[in-house]
Amino acid sequence: MTGELISQETIDALIAATGEARDTIRRAHEATRDLRQVVTEARTLIRTETETRVHEELKAAAREAVRILDEETKRAMDAAVAKVGREFPRLERLFLGLENDGKPSVETLIRRVRS
């Protein structure tokens, strides 16, 4: 057998390199665990922030919709009140028989029904 012997120095260097490689692998595993933890925390934070922002956006949109509904309701009520105000004199004339084309007034009709 003509095999060469490996020197003790080479063996010691290989053992040291193996130890360093194991240490590097261990630190890489630790870094990977830390990175996974950071990613998990970031995802949680993003989810929480997203939910908060969506909630705030929905509240703002609902507030705006209620404001618009309030304005439109006020306009509709004002228009209805104005219409009644415009119609009231005509209804008064009809009730008193001033615009009935010769027909009895509403007041007269009510008195007839009561008697």
Domain of residue 27: give its range: 8-84
Instruction: Please count the structural domains in the chain.
Output: 1
Q: Is 32 within the bounds of a domain? A: yes
* pLDDT tens-place string over residues 54-80: 999 999 999 999 999 999 999 999 999
Residues 6+ apart with CB under 8 A from 94: 100, 105, 106
DSSP 5: P
pLDDT score at 1: 42
Q: Is 64 within the bounds of a domain? A: yes
What's phi and psi for 104, nearest 5 deg?
Answer: -65, 150
Residue 2 has pLDDT above 60, yes or no: no
**How many other C-beta atoms can be found within 10 angstroms of the C-beta atom of residue 95?**
16
Q: Is 89 within the bounds of a domain? A: no
Q: Is 103 within the bounds of a domain? A: no
- Please tell me the least confidently modeled range out of 43-52, 79-88, 104-113: 104-113
Q: Is 15 within the bounds of a domain? A: yes
List C-alpha distances in Å: 75 to 1, 49, 63, 64, 87.
Answer: 109, 39, 18, 17, 18
Residue 102 has pLDDT above 80, yes or no: no
Q: Which two tokens stand for residue 29?
A: 């595993």
Q: Is 108 within the bounds of a domain? A: no
Q: Is 114 within the bounds of a domain? A: no
